[in-house]
Structure 1
Amino acid sequence: MDFNQSLVALSALGQETRLHVFRLLIKAGPQGLQAGEISDALNVRQNTMSANLSVLMRAGLIRNTREGRTIRYFADFDGIRGLLEFLMEDCCGGNADLCKSVLDEIACDCWERVP
């Protein structure tokens, strides 16, 4: 993830509802949640939720798939990993390879892309 995309992602997470959505989708794992389920879980109106989901998608932190008339949302673990790599690229005296093990350690099986 580059500098500008990282700014977009961090800005997206800097709003309370979007941070709650992001954490909820991380918790949901590879099953994700339908848009209505997210709205109900966070007690947010669907049109407001739609706008927040769009911001998180543009930031590369979540993705979606259509299921008939509904849309299911998932945490985009590739995007999350990209943000974490960007944040850690200057650690260890600028030798990011030394920190690769940290990213590998916090990655879980759910980080693999779901079809």
Structure 2
Amino acid sequence: MKEAQALSAFAALAQETRLRIVRLLVTAGPKGLPAGAIAKAMDNASSSRMSFHLSHLEHAGLVLSRRDGRQIIYCAQLDALSELIGFLMRDCCQGHPEICAPIERILTCGCTPTKESADV
């Protein structure tokens, strides 16, 4: 990830609603959520407000959208989020891997695989 991309992503995340949307979509997983469900989770935000925030996140490369019939489904762009974390942590230990150990513990997924994920 280049610095300009990281700056765009951080700028998008530096707003409360957009940060909440990304966290919601990360939790939703690859299936994503319809715009209406996202709006409901954001305190029944108006469609114009959601459109503004989702567009901003999509432009920053943090969210992808797809049409499913009459709905637009949004999902977190997990690769971009991983790259953003990688951008921050690149060269963190400078040859001393013990410095990165606490970060590795935080980033290690503690999830128990579900039947759905095993089938994927």
The interval holding the TM-score normalised by the smaller chain is 0.7 to 0.9
TM-aligned CA distance change 1:107 to 1:57, over 3 Å: farther
Specify the SS of the correspondent of 2:81: helix
User: Which digits, 9 at most, give the CA deviation of each residue in 1:90-114, with x for residues without a partner?
Assistant: 2011789x96x939734978xxxxx
2:77 pairs with 1:76 = yes
TM-score, normalization: structure 2?
Answer: 0.78
Instruction: Work out whether 1:11 is the aligned partner of 2:11.
Output: yes
Show the 5 A alignment for 1:1-115.
Answer: 1-42=1-42, 43-93=44-94, 102=104, 105-106=108-109
Q: Matched residues, percent identical?
A: 46
Could you tell me how far apart the structure 2 residues matched to 1:107 and 1:46 are? 35
Distance in 2 of aligned mates of 1:34 and 1:24: 12
Counterpart CA distance in 2 for 1:4 and 1:106 is 28
Q: Distance in 2 between matches of 1:37 and 1:80?
A: 22
Where in structure 1 do 4 or more consecutive aligned residues deviate above 4 Å? 106-109
Report how many aligned residue pairs link the two structures: 107
Unaligned segments of structure 2, at least 5 residues: 114-120
CA-based RMSD? 2.5
Larger radius of gyration: 2
Gaps spanning 5+ residues in structure 1: where? 110-115
